Amino acid sequence: MIGFAFVATMINYLDRQTLSVAAPVLREQFHMSNVTYSRVVFGFLLAYTIMNGVSGPLIDRLGTRLGYALCIAWWSAASILHAFARGAVSLGVFRFLLGAGEAGNWPAAIRIVAEWFPESERALASGIFNSGSAAGAILAPPIVAWILLRFGWQYAFVLVGVLGFAWLAFWWPTYATPPEAAKEVAAPVPSAWRLFRTRFVWSFTFAKIFLDPVWYFYIFWFPEYLKSARHFDMAAIGAYSWIPFLVAGSGNILGGLLSGSLVKRGMSVPVARKTSITVFAILMMSAIPAVLAPSAAVSIAFVSLAMTGYTGALASMLALPADVFPKNAVASVYGLASMGSGFGGMVFTLLTGWVVEHYSYTPVFFGFAIIPLLCSAILWTLTRCEDTTV
């Protein structure tokens, strides 16, 4: 069951990374500046933010099987539509549609984890399915670059989009809620407003504002950084930009193992989760030497460590809602909280475009090295992880 979530997450990232890899070509063809490109990315994040608050409660009401199927069908169709873009505006519209569908992946996957795994295994299970994001990001540069150079950028969006429909052909006849979880998931779903009024949800939402935008920066801007700051051509981007994502995949497992081992050693679940998140937030400060490194190879190595820090922290972040809320509400909780990550992503994406346009990538890397520490501080000071009755 976790394999389904892993593959769906991998396809999710293949879809969104197609633009990142094709960005140098599309920016030249559509005459997009850094600011214009940031607005296209903003369109994706705007829809992603709005639909996080919708998709989570929707999945809790429709159930994992139907809810997940609708989300991946939507975003796969939206990916194919990118082939019809004729400028920055139409590209932004199709990115908006893609973001609307992709928002449902994590609430649905977290619900699978809640239905199938005990709390001592949830961080590792979350890390396993979330490693699909690294796998998708690893595969995207060489695959998309090869398709783009051989057939054109339109085919890259179409072929990647078709993968989602192939996933559906296996998912629909296979997935079923485990019998031991059936009664709990069938209980009435609390309203989104009632959930958001709990201290955990609003503080967790606030914390995500300062964590997830770091990942958005790397997936949307790293190929551009290699081109403009390190002078890579398209072939070099395809050959090397996947490396940090390969290394980052280990963070999903390391984060889950650290959190799980702390729980097994007797540490309370909330403290174990927060400790693991803090350790990996500190590792994300590797972004500072990454931008200061004189060689591209050293820079890529430090970016790899910073991205590993993100995935390691996220493994515990993904497990937290299921530690606190019943199974019939976890998709809603994570969807609502992810509105914070979408909001932070929108703000920091626009800031990134403006800062790069007027200054350089240096202050951007410094900023994304520091803000994860704010996430950790919020979790320790504001977020309470005691059992919540809704």
Q: In this predicted model, what pLDDT tens digit does every residue of 160-216 receive, in sequence order?
A: 899 999 999 999 999 888 887 777 766 777 787 888 888 999 999 999 999 999 998
> Is 388 a domain residue?
no
The confidence score (pLDDT) of residue 195 equals 85
Q: Which amino acid is at 202?
A: W
Q: Which amino acid is at 235?
A: A
- Rounded CA gap, 46 and 376, in Å? 25
The confidence score (pLDDT) of residue 89 equals 92
Mean pLDDT of 71-91: 93
Note down the domain range covering 140.
2-381
> Is 390 a domain residue?
no
At 316-351, the pLDDT tens digits run 998 888 888 888 888 888 888 888 888 888 889 889
Q: Is the pLDDT of residue 37 over 90?
A: no
**What residues contact residue 3 under an 8 Å CB cut-off, 6+ apart?**
none
> Is 386 a domain residue?
no
- Rounded CA gap, 12 and 121, in Å? 24
Q: How many CB atoms lie within 10 A of CB 358?
A: 10
> Is 137 a domain residue?
yes
> Is 389 a domain residue?
no
- Rounded CA gap, 245 and 307, in Å? 7
Q: Is the pLDDT of residue 390 over 60?
A: no
- Rounded CA gap, 59 and 66, in Å? 8
Mean pLDDT of 35-58: 87
**Alpha helix (H) residue ranges in the chain:** 2-30, 34-62, 64-81, 88-102, 105-116, 119-151, 153-174, 179-185, 192-196, 199-208, 212-228, 234-240, 243-264, 269-283, 287-292, 296-324, 330-358, 362-381
The CATH number covering residue 187 comes to: 1.20.1250.20
Q: Is the pLDDT of residue 276 over 70?
A: yes
The confidence score (pLDDT) of residue 23 equals 83
Contact between 287 and 218 under an 8 Å Cβ cutoff? The reply is no
Q: Is the pLDDT of residue 7 over 60?
A: yes
Q: Name the average pLDDT for the chain.
A: 88
> Is 245 a domain residue?
yes
Q: Is the pLDDT of residue 386 over 70?
A: no
Distance set, CA 192 to CA 156, 207, 236, 336, 339 (Å): 37, 19, 46, 8, 12
> Is 387 a domain residue?
no
% of the chain with per-residue pLDDT over 70:
98
Q: Is the pLDDT of residue 388 over 60?
A: no
- Rounded CA gap, 69 and 165, in Å? 9
- Rounded CA gap, 117 and 48, in Å? 27
Q: Is the pLDDT of residue 307 over 90?
A: yes
At 126-166, the pLDDT tens digits run 888 988 888 887 888 888 888 888 888 898 999 989 999 99
Instruction: Count structural domains, the chain.
Output: 1
At 341-379, the pLDDT tens digits run 888 888 898 899 899 988 899 999 999 999 999 999 999
